[in-house]
Amino acid sequence: MASNVMLTLLFLGAVLVVYYLAPPRARWGLLLAASLIFYASASGFMLALAGLSACWSWFAGGRMEETQTEREKRGWLLLGILPLLGVLFVFKYFNFFSASLSSLLDLLGLSADPLVLKLLLPLGISYYTFKMISYQADLYLGKRTSEPHLGYYLTYVLFFPQILSGPIERSEGFLDQLHEGPRYDSGLLAEGIERIVLGLFKKMVIANRLSGYVDAVFASPGEYPALAAFMAAFFYSFQLYCDFSGYSDLAIGMGNLLGIRSRQNFRCPYFSGNIREFWSRWHISLSSWLRDYVYIPLGGSRVSQGKRRRNVMLTFLVSGLWHGDNWTFVAWGGIHGIWNLCSRRKEGGEVRPIRRLWQTLLTFLGVTLGWIFFRAESLGAALSYLRRMVLGFSLSMADIQNSILPFTGDNTCAAYFLTVCLCLVLLFLYEWGQVYGKGKDREFSLSIPWMIVMGIGVALFGVFGASGFLYAQF
């Protein structure tokens, strides 16, 4: 159920039937029960691990608030956070660092086989771990008081719409809503339906249709023309965006149906005019988390220029490592860190439309090239892919035909390609309206005509099945 979009929505429907029959003060219990059932459908062990981590985090937070001295407070902060990071390290990073150490020893002439732990990565562990760390840090900084109700805290950590791929919700907003008791709100309900329709269009129509092409070309770039490598990189940018932002829209929309407001996670990032703007629009809950709990504690920008650059690079390297246990992610984070350092900090005055268009295209191109490292299996594979894109590029009719072929492998590839392009154009027009049209001053808007168009798109062109979300593995 946790890996299937339609089963998740059916599960939500079943929860809603009971949810609004219960009094508002009791609805937190239904949310917790639904979250436990949802996560247990993936693995009972994963649920036990997440539940025990949450209980420890809650206990340590309560003890931190009871302490009398700064030293004791700091001690409970470390006791609260270090076990969480330890669990994350063992399940997600141990094999990576073990293999890296073994490779380093080989370079030094000291042969050593890496120690490998055969552990299944718990779903959403990076997301719920960051939730708990932010709760602990906010307690330490005095931004909030400890949550006295264990059940509310477990509901916050395990909230089933967000458990797989976020958004990384902050504790204060979510827990305040639980204490008030989620209530029926027709406006919030309508927004939830709109977000779900948008999320389904992004995920089922665009991301799922692009996945086969991207997988085929990235698996064997040498078997296809260089044009296909360019197309696959371009399509991967949209597959990743539509898959992840589609999940965020679904998660926020499901929360809205349950009377829970969540923070925005994407704001049309590919319309960004520079890399700094991109990171203010892409995966906002993560980028703001890294700013508040990594960059600022390191000193932020209120230090010397040298230390500020160090802080920027460390923050982006942490971002890369957060995404996965591979040097490709570290390289991707490093690329974005260097790019941020090289970009101008402020844009003065109003930018002319032609210049804005040029800046947006360059930013999108740079982000797309960075995604090649994000997608590749290794640094060597990423560099080989880039070489394939550049060397031997040609644009003959045969190249064009063979570059479209990976969609289906037969003569239907042209129709499939045109369908994908049409859907991408629709998404572009919708987001253009969000950025530059009447909806630009609103956090979210999806008019009835757009709902109808996207709903028809899902019904006619949606690719259904047990297709998981890309970011669930991070």
Residue 420 is given by DSSP the state H
CB 242 within 8 A of CB 194: no
∠ CA 373-378-381, nearest 5°, is 80
User: DSSP readout, 123-151?
Assistant: TTHHHHHHHHHHHHHHHHTTSSPPP--HH
Active-site residue, 179 included: no
- Cis peptide preceding 167, ω within 30 of 0: yes
Backbone dihedral region for residue 445 (phi beyond 0: left; psi -120 to 50: alpha; all else: beta): beta
Q: What share of the chain is helix, strand, coil (3-state, %, to 5)?
A: 75, 0, 25
Of 149, 179, 323, 336, the active-site residue reads 323
CB 162 within 8 A of CB 77: no
Short-list 255, 253, 243, 312, CA closest to 283? 243
Residue with tokens 């979210």: 444
* Cβ within 8 Å of residue 110, ≥6 positions away: none
**Joined tokens for residue 159:** 């909230």
CB 171 within 8 A of CB 134: yes
Short-list 446, 453, 409, CA closest to 431? 446
Backbone dihedral region for residue 142 (phi beyond 0: left; psi -120 to 50: alpha; all else: beta): left
The span from the CA of 342 to the CA of 365, in Å, is: 16
**Joined tokens for residue 113:** 């086989």
Q: Is 27 exposed, middle or buried (0-12, 13-18, 19+ CB in 10 A)?
A: buried
Size (the chain), residues = 474
Q: Is 398 exposed, middle or buried (0-12, 13-18, 19+ CB in 10 A)?
A: exposed
Q: Is 259 exposed, middle or buried (0-12, 13-18, 19+ CB in 10 A)?
A: buried
Catalytic residues: 323
